[in-house]
Amino acid sequence: MGRMLRLSVLDQSPISEGSNGAEALHNTLDLARLTDRLGYHRYWVAEHHGGPMLACASPEVMIGPIAAATERIRVGSGGVMLPHYSPLKVAESFSMLAALFPDRVDLGIGRAPGTDQRTMLALQRDRRTPAPDDFPQQLAELLAYLDGELPAGHPFAPLARVLPGRPARPAPWLLGSSPQSAIWAAELGLPYSFADFINSSGAAIARDYRERFQPSVRNDQPQVAAGVWTICAETDEEAQRLAASGRMAFTLLRQGRLIEVPPVEKALRFLERQGSPIDGRPRSRRTVVGSPQTVRAELEQVAEEYGAEELILVTITHEHAARRRSYELIAEAFGLV
């Protein structure tokens, strides 16, 4: 590729069968330290609720320990699911993080619930009626707190002036997997992270974002990152074996059956019973799986499709050691080390 491509990490804190959430969270800290040393650009942690497979329900709780355990890498949320929260509370939390770790904190903002309908209701403070679908208004209010731009007559204007971490601010991003999220990001002049691991048909959406982009006080140029589901091993065959664990877990997820990340051999037996070949690929999702040479070529192709300056890699394996090794091999393949 002609331009420099940044590589980053989105960690969903997977819980392996036979392990537990506490170990998964410590694995997240371990992986953050490793990828910081390897030269990855940023490390984001996801928000998921009420399931047995992913441990991180609160990115803002994890960001501080990760930033404290690392030296250089940017740290942030991938993302905070704003419909669950007060914009002021999110602004205060990330203002504090930005003050403690200057110029290293990202605030990735998402609209998806990150869970099922029952858990969404449990997360609500007022459960008498469903929460309103007012994400654009929430997002505008959150950005106004961070920018100190609430109108003088607004009842909450004084609160924007006293965010606890001022003058430090987090760098806001909008996350999405749909055309609407691209429109909001462009109109607000926000950098945009598209979840290719959810919707692999996002190249046209990214182009639309660039065409619509309006410069803002935060960014004068559009910025695109694509999140890609990736597993790298020494050979294509070994990477496909490792990917079996995630394939089994997500096959059952689509059937409404939530499980921990299964061991490889168990997953291979499941896929065989399903009549699914070991090197099969999900029809609805892109997976970049293979040797370092294979993975580099496919990731560069994804970046070209999106016109992306950055790829954010999502890796789920049963063994934490295999996940560490995947990021090591990719760093070597791209010359990050």
Q: Give the start-to-end residue ranges of the domains of the chain.
A: 6-334
Contacts of 37 (CB under 8 A, 6+ apart): none
Exposed, middle or buried by CB within 10 Å (0-12, 13-18, 19+), for 104?
buried
Which pLDDT belongs to residue 120?
A: 81
Half-sphere exposure of 35 (CA within 13 A, CB side): 31
Which pLDDT belongs to residue 330?
A: 98
**Rounded CA separation 16/220 (Å):** 42
**Rounded CA separation 74/207 (Å):** 26
Token pair, residue 176, equals 């999405």
* Three-class DSSP category at 174: strand
Which pLDDT belongs to residue 2?
A: 46
**pLDDT averaged per 10 residues, the chain (length 337):** 82 98 98 98 96 96 98 97 95 98 98 82 82 91 93 88 96 97 97 96 97 94 98 97 95 92 97 80 76 98 97 98 98 93
Which pLDDT belongs to residue 121?
A: 81
H or E segment at 43?
A: strand 42-45
| Alpha helices (runs of H) in 213-291, residue ranges in sequence order | 236-254, 264-273
- Smallest CA-to-CA distance from 180 within 162, 192, 167 is with 192
Q: Which CATH superfamily is domain 6-334 in?
A: Luciferase-like domain (3.20.20.30)
Which pLDDT belongs to residue 122?
A: 85
Which pLDDT belongs to residue 119?
A: 82
Which pLDDT belongs to residue 285?
A: 67
Q: Are 190 and 173 in contact (CB under 8 A)?
A: yes
